[in-house]
C-alpha cells in the first residue's frame, strides 16, 4: 500500500513542479502577500498634506501651524484664502485635511474664553480621514498644554496609554497571522480542489476509480503533497514576518505548528468537499474564491473587526474556520498564551475539522454510487 501511495505522491509532485503557474501560486504568492501587506497596507502615515485657512494670521496661529508641522506627520500643502478655495481643494481631491483658525484666535485665547478650531477632512476615505483628524487633534491638544499651561482647573485627568503586546501598533503583527490563514487556505483548499477537478476533467479520475485503489488512498495521495507544501509556506510566512517585519513569536512554537496542522487538515477537507461538487477546474476555482477566500478575508476579523459587524455577518464569521485560527495564532504568537487559554478555539476547530472530514467522506461515497 505504501508503494502505491509513493507512486501517487511522486506523480503529484511532477504535476506541481512542471507547472509554472502552480509554482508561482505556491511560492510567489505567500512572499508577495507578506510584502504587500507589510509595506503597503499600513495605517501609519508621514508627511500628510495639510491645508491651512488661517483667518487670524497672528503669531499664535502661526505657532500652532508650526507645531503641527513639527511632528513630522503633517506638511503644509497650501495656505487657503477663501472658503471657495477650500471647497475647490476638497472637490479636486488635492485637499485631504484642512484646519480653519478663526480670526479672533489669539485675542479670545488671551481673554481666557474658549475658542473653536475647525478641522475638515475628506470623509470619502473614512479610515484615512479618521486617522488624520485624530493625529491633528492630538497635536492641537499638546499645543494647548505647552503654550497655555495655566490650567484654570487644577484637577486634570492625564491619560496614559500603553498598547500591550504590540506597543508600536505595527500592522505587521496583525497581518502575519491573517496571511498565514489565507495562504494555508488558498493552497490547501483551493489548490487541492483544483487538482482533483483537473483529474475529473481529464478523465483520469475515472481510471483511478476503476483501479483497485481505495478511494481514501486516492484522496490522501492527492492531498498529502499540498499539505506538506502549505506547511512550508506557513513557515516561510513566519520567517519573513520575523526577519523582515520583526513580528515576534512569543508563545510555544510546537503549539503554533500543531494548530497550523489542524487548520491545514480542515482546509484540505474543505478543498476535497468543493471538488466533489465541482465538475471543472473553473467551477472549483469560483467556488473556492467565493465560498472560501472572500469570507475568510472579510469575515474572519483579519481586516475588519468582527465585533463591529451586524449580527448576520458575525454569525457567518463564527462558522469560518479562519476566524478561530487567526484568534489562536494571535494569542500564541503575540500574547504568548498557552494551550489552556486557546483550548475553546482549538476545540471548535477540531469539531469543524471532524465535521468537514465526515461530509467529504460521505459526499465522495455518494458520488461513487
- Segment contacting another protein (CB under 8 A): 30-38, 89-97, 131-139, 205-213? 205-213
220 part of the interface to another protein, by CB under 8 A: no
- Segment contacting another protein (CB under 8 A): 8-16, 128-136, 235-243, 337-345? 8-16
The answer to whether the CB of 264 falls within 8 A of the CB of 184 is: yes
- Segment contacting another protein (CB under 8 A): 45-53, 96-104, 199-207, 293-301? 199-207
Minimum CB distance to another protein smaller for 4 or for 255: 4
Minimum CB distance to another protein smaller for 15 or for 335: 15
232 part of the interface to another protein, by CB under 8 A: no
**Sign of the C-alpha dihedral, residues 56, 60, 63, 68?**
negative
Minimum CB distance to another protein smaller for 154 or for 212: 212
163: which residues sit within 8 A by CB, 6+ positions away? 169
20 part of the interface to another protein, by CB under 8 A: no
Closest approach of another protein to the CB of residue 26, in Å: 16
24 part of the interface to another protein, by CB under 8 A: no
Q: How many CB atoms lie within 10 A of CB 137?
A: 12
67 part of the interface to another protein, by CB under 8 A: no
279: which residues sit within 8 A by CB, 6+ positions away? 197, 200, 201
21 part of the interface to another protein, by CB under 8 A: no
Answer for which of 23, 41, 209, 228 binds another protein (CB under 8 A) is 209
Minimum CB distance to another protein smaller for 254 or for 368: 368
246 part of the interface to another protein, by CB under 8 A: no
- Segment contacting another protein (CB under 8 A): 7-15, 164-172, 189-197, 250-258? 7-15
Minimum CB distance to another protein smaller for 158 or for 369: 369
* Axis-axis angle for helices 215-244, 2-18 (nearest 10): 50
* Residue 153 backbone dihedrals phi, psi, to 5 degrees: -105, 115
Residue found by looking up cell 469539531 in the block: 351
The answer to whether the CB of 74 falls within 8 A of the CB of 68 is: yes
Max CA separation in the chain (angstroms): 95
The answer to whether the CB of 194 falls within 8 A of the CB of 285 is: yes
71 part of the interface to another protein, by CB under 8 A: no
- Segment contacting another protein (CB under 8 A): 49-57, 135-143, 210-218, 328-336? 210-218
Q: How many CB atoms lie within 10 A of CB 230?
A: 29
Closest approach of another protein to the CB of residue 205, in Å: 9
213 part of the interface to another protein, by CB under 8 A: yes
Between residue 340 and residue 369, which ones bind another protein under the rule CB under 8 A?
368-369
Beta bridge partners of 3: none
Q: How many CB atoms lie within 10 A of CB 211?
A: 11
Distance (Å, whole) CA 179 – CA 260:
12
Cell of 132: 488624520
- Segment contacting another protein (CB under 8 A): 92-100, 109-117, 177-185, 198-206? 198-206
The answer to whether the CB of 43 falls within 8 A of the CB of 127 is: yes
Between residue 134 and residue 193, which ones bind another protein under the rule CB under 8 A?
none
Spatial CA neighbour of 51 closest among 139, 122, 138 = 122
The answer to whether the CB of 298 falls within 8 A of the CB of 182 is: no
- Segment contacting another protein (CB under 8 A): 47-55, 156-164, 197-205, 304-312? 197-205
Distance (Å, whole) CA 19 – CA 16:
6
Minimum CB distance to another protein smaller for 18 or for 162: 18
Three-class DSSP labels, 217-252: HHHHHHHHHHHHHHHHHHHHHHHHHHHHCCCCCCCC
Closest approach of another protein to the CB of residue 220, in Å: 13
Answer for which of 15, 100, 129, 335 binds another protein (CB under 8 A) is 15
Q: List contacts with another protein (CB under 8 A).
A: 3-4, 6-8, 10-11, 14-15, 18-19, 202-204, 206-213, 368-369
Amino acid at each position: 500500500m505504501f508503494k502505491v501511495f509513493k507512486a501517487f505522491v511522486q506523480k503529484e509532485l511532477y504535476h506541481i513542479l512542471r507547472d509554472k503557474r502552480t509554482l508561482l501560486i505556491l511560492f510567489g504568492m505567500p512572499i508577495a502577500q507578506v510584502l504587500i501587506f507589510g509595506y503597503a497596507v499600513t495605517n501609519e502615515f508621514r508627511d500628510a498634506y495639510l491645508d491651512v485657512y488661517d483667518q487670524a494670521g497672528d503669531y499664535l496661529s502661526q505657532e500652532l501651524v508650526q507645531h503641527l508641522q513639527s511632528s513630522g506627520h503633517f506638511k503644509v500643502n497650501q495656505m487657503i484664502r477663501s472658503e471657495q478655495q477650500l471647497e475647490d481643494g476638497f472637490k479636486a481631491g488635492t485637499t485631504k485635511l484642512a484646519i480653519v483658525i478663526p480670526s479672533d484666535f489669539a485675542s479670545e485665547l488671551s481673554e481666557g474664553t474658549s475658542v473653536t478650531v475647525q478641522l475638515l477632512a475628506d470623509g470619502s476615505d473614512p479610515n484615512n480621514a479618521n486617522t488624520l483628524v485624530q493625529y491633528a487633534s492630538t497635536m492641537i491638544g499638546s499645543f494647548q498644554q505647552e503654550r497655555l499651561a495655566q490650567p484654570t482647573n487644577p484637577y486634570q485627568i492625564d491619560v496614559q496609554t500603553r498598547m500591550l503586546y504590540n506597543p508600536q501598533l505595527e500592522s505587521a503583527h496583525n497581518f502575519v497571522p491573517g496571511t498565514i490563514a489565507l495562504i494555508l487556505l488558498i493552497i490547501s483548499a483551493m489548490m487541492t480542489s483544483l487538482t482533483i477537478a483537473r483529474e475529473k476533467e481529464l478523465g483520469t479520475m475515472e481510471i483511478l476509480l476503476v483501479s483497485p485503489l481505495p478511494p481514501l488512498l486516492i484522496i490522501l495521495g492527492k492531498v498529502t503533497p499540498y499539505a506538506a507544501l502549505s506547511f512550508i509556506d506557513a513557515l516561510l510566512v513566519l520567517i519573513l514576518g520575523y526577519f523582515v517585519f520583526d513580528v515576534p513569536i512569543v508563545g510555544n512554537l510546537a503549539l503554533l505548528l500543531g494548530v497550523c496542522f489542524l487548520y491545514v487538515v480542515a482546509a484540505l477537507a474543505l478543498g476535497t468537499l468543493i471538488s466533489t461538487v465541482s465538475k471543472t477546474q473553473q467551477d472549483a476555482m469560483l467556488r473556492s474564491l467565493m465560498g472560501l477566500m472572500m469570507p475568510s478575508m472579510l469575515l474572519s476579523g483579519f481586516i475588519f473587526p468582527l465585533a463591529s459587524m451586524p449580527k448576520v455577518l458575525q454569525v457567518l464569521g463564527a462558522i469560518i474556520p479562519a476566524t478561530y485560527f487567526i484568534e489562536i495564532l494571535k494569542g500564541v504568537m503575540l500574547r504568548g498564551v498557552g494551550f489552556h487559554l486557546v483550548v475553546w478555539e482549538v476545540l471548535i476547530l477540531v469539531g469543524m475539522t471532524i465535521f468537514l472530514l465526515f461530509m467529504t467522506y460521505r459526499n465522495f461515497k455518494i458520488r461513487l454510487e
